[in-house]
Amino acid sequence: MLPHVDDFLLNLQANKYSPRTVYNYERDLNVFSGFLDESGVVFDNLDKRAITYYKAYLVSRDRKTPGSGRQGERQLDSRSVNRMLSALRAYLRYLIDIDHHCPLAPEAVKLTKAGKRHPQVAELEELTRLVEAPSTLEPNVRTALRNRAMLEVLFATGMRISELCGLNRSQIDDSGRIFITGKGRKQRFVYLTMRARQHLDAYMATRDDNCPALFIPYAGRNVAKPARRISANYLQDRIKRYREKLRINVPTSAHSLRHGFATYLAEQGANPAALQILLGHESLDTTTRYVHASDKYAEETHRKYHPLGKPT
């Protein structure tokens, strides 16, 4: 057991970190504790050499492919490794803050070099087909209206799937502006398009209940509960099915709609600072990494702005 780790987690809770974030810190520090046990390294003797071994330990770890139930299908990527290293850094900083013995400066835990991944975003035509898919692929009318409304709202606002599933009816007004509390308890406005509002109204016209949730399930164990709401897993599964039936070959998820929202607004000339606000990012750097700079946009920018682009 790492010294004062329970106090560290309690401190996170006291500073209003979400339960999910606290759980992630606990899980990542358990991995570090497991490394110490396996390698025979005493925490009080932690040094840079041990951190190097820990990085190698993390890189060699296998993770489960979702739904497979088996280990060994793919290795931890650099982002996952850096998340675990960041958790260790935060823990070491906490030990210093409470004047407890800290064997190694947090700055000595260097993150690994993360390879740049080119975000995969389906073409606008394919994303549009995906958003419209429930209207033709869902045999139940109410389900079709609800699922179409969910996808329309996702793509119209750029919100996260957790934010969508957490929406209440009271958050929707006639202005098309929605006030939400997102990741890290950050609050912001997102905005419905007229098209999204049209499909949301069509869905709401089928509701005759008093359930506060905006999107509710029509089947399953919780269907009779007053506090029922649609789950993120359900929506992800439906998107996967729609994508397969539509034969969209680019990996596409609810998060892809958020990527697409940012990408195609950027292609239309949206200000990065405005996108930062709409996406709920704390840093503009996050937004610029997040937005998929498409080849099409790059080509148009080159042709439009190159000083010697015109023929002589």
Q: What are the tens digits of pLDDT across the range 271-298?
A: 888 888 888 887 777 677 656 554 555 5
Contacts of 14 (CB under 8 A, 6+ apart): none
Whether 183 is catalytic is yes
Residue of 89, 146, 160, 243 marked catalytic = 160
The residue among 122 and 58 whose pLDDT is bigger is 58
pLDDT of 181 over the 90 cut: no
Average pLDDT over residues 38-48: 94
> Can you point out the beta strands (E) in 185-297?
187-191
Query: Is residue 100 annotated as part of the catalytic site, yes or no?
Result: no
142 is catalytic: no
Q: Domains in the chain, ordered, with CATH?
A: 5-108 (1.10.150.130), 124-303 (1.10.443.10)
Average pLDDT, the chain: 85
Beta bridge partners of 180: 188
> pLDDT: is 80 or 43 the higher one?
43
**SS3 call for 63:** strand
What is the pLDDT, as a whole number, of residue 70?
41
The mean-pLDDT minimum among 2-6, 83-87, 223-227, 299-303 falls in 299-303
- Section 142-161 average pLDDT: 95
Marked catalytic residue, from 258, 259, 264, 292: 258
CA quadruple 98, 104, 105, 111: dihedral sign: negative
Residue tagged active-site, from 17, 234, 290, 297: 290
pTM for the whole structure:
0.62
Is 48 one of the catalytic residues?
A: no
Q: What is the CA radius of gyration of the chain?
A: 23
Residue pair 103/46 in contact (Cβ under 8 Å)? The answer is yes
- Let me know if 255 is a catalytic residue: yes
Out of 55, 228, 259, 281, pick the active-site residue.
Answer: 281
For helices 19-39 and 48-60, give the axis angle rounded to 10 degrees.
110
Residue 59 pLDDT > 60: yes
